[in-house]
Amino acid sequence: MLSFGIIIFMVNKAIDYYSFITIEKQMMEKADLSELSFREVLAQHRSSTGEPQTQEIVRLALEKLKASGKEVRIYDSSKQLLGLAVDGIIIMDGKPHIFEQNIEKALGGNYVYTVTEDHLLYFSTPIQDQYYQNAYVYEFVEDISYFYAIMDQIRYILFAGAGGFIVLITLSSLWIARSTTKPIKMLLGAAQSFSRQEFRRVHLNRKDELGMLADGLDSMGRQLHDYIQYQKQFVSNVSHELKTPLAAIRGFSQYLYEGETENKELQKIYAHLLQESDRLTRLINELLLLSRFDKEGSNELEARKTEMNKLVQQVATSLGAKAKDKGIEILFKEAEAEPGDKLLTSVHANVNPMLMSHAIANLVDNAIKYSGSSSLIELKLEHTPSEVVIQIRDQGIGIAGDELEKVQERFYRAKNANTANGSGLGLSICKEIVERFNGYIDLESQIGKGTTVTIVLPRA
């Protein structure tokens, strides 16, 4: 708009400038012709009388010029008005001149002009006598209002055209903006859902660069989807294949360990073997669980209305012994009855009890694993009218703030976790389980102080 405004301004100025140049040219031609005719008069007069008589000369000159404009004035070299012709009538003793300076400059040898407010042009030009002296000045007065009218008309056309053009440009740029931002937003949305591993078809019904981009994104999405599926399938297959030999190894290790009573050195080795195969078995089981989640449309892990107090209590009990071994106490605080509710509280959620127990056990297991001896683990159940909240609070080593997000990813273990063994899959499995039942997990932690994991589920 701004550049357009500047262009209009310049064009306007140019029109003014070139129009006046045209007028000047016209006037100069007229001045030349007048000079010629004046010389003619001079020559004729001299040849007829010998002695030049100014009055007569002026009258003759005016006679020739009187029809050539609105008004013609002739001055002598002392700026005295010699005579004038108004609308074709010659007046020999007219009023004095108006633009004295113009006459002065003309006597200096230059043409000069002034335009008055009522669009009258006063054009003064020097006239030379027989000795080539600037002895006289012609002043032509022209009404140039017709010329202003034309300029106004040109300007009007220009502005109208420009206005139309601006409207057109604005409308078309709005249209272009809309027709490009919408598909770009769509592509952005697709890219964002790809990054969440949600793949869908991307298609734009257009042949331009955006259409090509959409096609590229689409094929990328499909390849990524296939690749991830392949990867998951691969892990699942390998886990399956490992399960049987691992069971055999564990069985034989157990057999060897129990059979060896004399050689302490060998016993230690067998115990280690047993421990490691247990660890591997756990890892394989977790991987298999994850691959069961990944299988789309599997409904073997169905949800049903489950009483959560009992479920959490069971988990606390089952892990009590393990905690005690480390000198840790698990404190279970069940959900309290709502005020005025005389019945025993029962808080329900729609979950698969096996999976949910697994998730909570995993979190309690972490709390035990990442706590020092003789500390306390609080297991608390609360509820609101719409939610069930399960909290696992420990006094352990804690997780650094910048790792809180990452520990929920598969295979990620925090930097201070190397004291305890693990695969880094536990939390990601919990997250998937809780999200499967439309809940979410929240982690709060402070290094050296402890960690609180909160599971929030919709109440059934």
Ligand X SMILES: Nc1ncnc2c1ncn2[C@@H]1O[C@H](COP(=O)(O)OP(=O)(O)O)[C@@H](O)[C@H]1O
| Site for ligand X, rule CB under 6 A | 366-367, 370, 394, 396-399, 407, 413-414, 417, 422-428, 451
Stretch of 104-112, 237-245, 267-275, 364-372 contacting Mg ion, by CB under 5 A: 364-372
> In 255-347, which ranges are E strands?
304-307, 329-333
Residues present in the chain in total: 460
* Residue 236 or 423 with smaller CB distance to ligand X: 423
Please identify which residue in the block is written with the tokens 């999200």: 435
Minimum CB separation of residue 359 from ligand X in Å reads 11
- Which of ligand X, Mg ion, none is residue 423 near (CB under 5 to 8 Å by kind)? ligand X
Distance CA 362, CA 380 (A): 15
Do 135 and 61 touch, CB atoms closer than 8 A? no
Stretch of 185-193, 267-275, 294-302, 414-422 contacting Mg ion, by CB under 5 A: 414-422
* Residue 128 or 416 with smaller CB distance to ligand X: 416
Parallel/antiparallel/unpaired status of strands 112-115 and 120-128 = antiparallel
Task: Indicate whether 83 belongs to the interface with Mg ion (CB under 5 A).
Answer: no
Strand partners, 99: none
- Which of Mg ion, ligand X, none is residue 439 near (CB under 5 to 8 Å by kind)? none
- How would you classify residue 253: left for phi > 0, otherwise alpha for psi between -120 and 50, otherwise beta? alpha
Minimum CB separation of residue 399 from ligand X in Å reads 5
* Residue 335 or 399 with smaller CB distance to Mg ion: 399
Q: Which of 208, 149, 157 is nearest to 184 (CA)?
A: 208
Structure tokens at 106: 């003309």
* Residue 129 or 365 with smaller CB distance to ligand X: 365
* Residue 161 or 327 with smaller CB distance to ligand X: 327
> Binding Mg ion by CB under 5 A: which of 291, 309, 366, 371?
366
Please identify which residue in the block is written with the tokens 């043409």: 111
Q: Which of 328, 311, 308 is nearest to 320 (CA)?
A: 328
Q: How many binding residues for Mg ion (CB under 5 A)?
A: 3
* Residue 187 or 330 with smaller CB distance to ligand X: 330
Minimum CB separation of residue 365 from ligand X in Å reads 7
Q: Which of residues 115-144 bind Mg ion (CB under 5 A)?
A: none
Minimum CB separation of residue 439 from ligand X in Å reads 17
In this structure, the number of other CB atoms found within 10 A of the CB of residue 381 comes to: 21
Distance CA 277, CA 285 (A): 12
* Separation of CA 7 from chain center: 30
Q: Cα–Cα–Cα angle for 412, 413, 416, nearest 5°?
A: 155
* Residue 82 or 427 with smaller CB distance to ligand X: 427
- Which of Mg ion, ligand X, none is residue 397 near (CB under 5 to 8 Å by kind)? ligand X
* Residue 352 or 428 with smaller CB distance to ligand X: 428
Do 439 and 426 touch, CB atoms closer than 8 A? no
Q: Is residue 265 within a helix (H) or strand (E), and if so which, with residue range?
A: helix 264-294
Stretch of 73-81, 264-272, 420-428, 432-440 contacting Mg ion, by CB under 5 A: 420-428
- Which of ligand X, Mg ion, none is residue 396 near (CB under 5 to 8 Å by kind)? ligand X
Stretch of 26-34, 317-325, 359-367, 432-440 contacting Mg ion, by CB under 5 A: 359-367
Helix then strand then coil, in percent of the chain rounded to 5, is 55, 20, 25
Distance CA 25, CA 36 (A): 17
> Binding Mg ion by CB under 5 A: which of 396, 398, 426, 450?
426
Stretch of 90-98, 157-165, 348-356, 422-430 contacting Mg ion, by CB under 5 A: 422-430
* Residue 382 or 444 with smaller CB distance to Mg ion: 444
Minimum CB separation of residue 403 from Mg ion in Å reads 14
Do 387 and 456 touch, CB atoms closer than 8 A? yes
In this structure, the number of other CB atoms found within 10 A of the CB of residue 82 comes to: 20
Question: Residues in the site for Mg ion, rule: CB under 5 A?
Answer: 366, 422, 426
